[in-house]
Amino acid sequence: MIKVIVCGAYGRMGREVLKAVHNDQELKLVGAVDINSARVDVGDLIGTGKLDVLTNSDLNKVIETCKPDVMVDFTNPSSVMQNIRIALKKGVCTVVGTTGLTEENVNEVKALCEENKLGALIAPNFAIGAILMMKMAQEAAKYLPNVEIIELHHDQKLDAPSGTALRTAELITEVRGTRQQGHPNEFEKLAGARGGEYSGIRLHSVRLPGYVAHQEVIFGGLGQTLTIRHDSISRESFMPGVTLACKKVMSLSGLVFGLEHILD
């Protein structure tokens, strides 16, 4: 059995991961970390009845006492790097779902993996449907290079645009390059009206209660548009990807970025 600890255990994603790890025959939930310092039985958090695993705010201590094989992190952009550093330096493989990491952060994780000879996986999106959306968008961009991205999330999300929207823009840029879109003389009457820009692709972020995680990639061509849309209507959508990553991360050599690289 692969021993797993979850960082961000009290969070929306953290609780879902606790449930998924607990329900997986090949994984054993041995620890749960959250800066929320209340110590509660994880079973009470996920409604299974007592599991004899208490939440703890000290990641170092949890690693020393529980000796996990894998740490899963769903915290926030300002906490995640410190958790990754602690885990990798203590010999624990990491699966990272937290978004908002910079290129510099990713390079640091890569170096830490090499130094400590460990595997790690960072995935901006663990939902298989979102991976397919990104693949299809990359394919469509070969033929319809004019494209904009609208991502829609719940209003408690901290980073914008989403990691998935940025990754989609990167994948599209790989096939069509940087491209000037829209009228060369267009101007904004309200700052931000045309969204953020990555290689000429406009990215728009909607934040509203009621949403989980959604994205539309809209392509425009002569007399036609093509919309590729993915909806995560529940956080369960991410769990098959997270549990698969927990099982595969120990056999990875170094850092892998993106769930698509570990799918069979």
By annotation, the residues acting in catalysis are: 153, 157
Closest chain position to ligand NAD (CB): 11
Place of tokens 């998935």: 164
Binding segment for ligand NAD (CB under 6 A), chosen from 42-50, 93-101, 102-110, 176-184, is 93-101
User: How far is residue 67 from each of residues 63, 70, 123, 202, measured CA to CA in Å?
Assistant: 5, 9, 24, 45
Asked whether position 94 contacts ligand NAD by CB under 6 A, the answer is no
Q: Please say whether the dihedral angle defined by the alpha carbons of residues 98, 103, 105 and 109, taken in this order, is positive or negative.
A: positive
Interaction pattern, residues 9-48, with ligand NAD; x per rule: CB under 6 A: -xxxxx------------------xxxx------------
128 vs 226, which CB is nearer to ligand NAD? Answer: 128
Q: Given the complex with ligand NAD, which of 34 and 216 has the nearer CB atom? A: 34
Kindly report the number of other CB atoms within 10 A of residue 263's CB atom: 11
- For ligand NAD, which residue of 28, 51, 67, 76 counts as binding (CB under 6 A)? 76
CA quadruple 248, 253, 257, 258: dihedral sign: negative
Could you tell me what percentage of the chain is helix, strand and coil, using 3-state DSSP and rounding each to the nearest 5?
40, 25, 35
How do 196-198 and 201-207 pair as beta strands?
antiparallel
Site stretch for ligand NAD (CB under 6 A), options 24-32, 118-126, 180-188, 222-230: 118-126
- Contacting positions for ligand NAD (CB under 6 A): 7-8, 10-14, 33-36, 74-76, 79, 83, 97-100, 123-126, 157, 213, 238
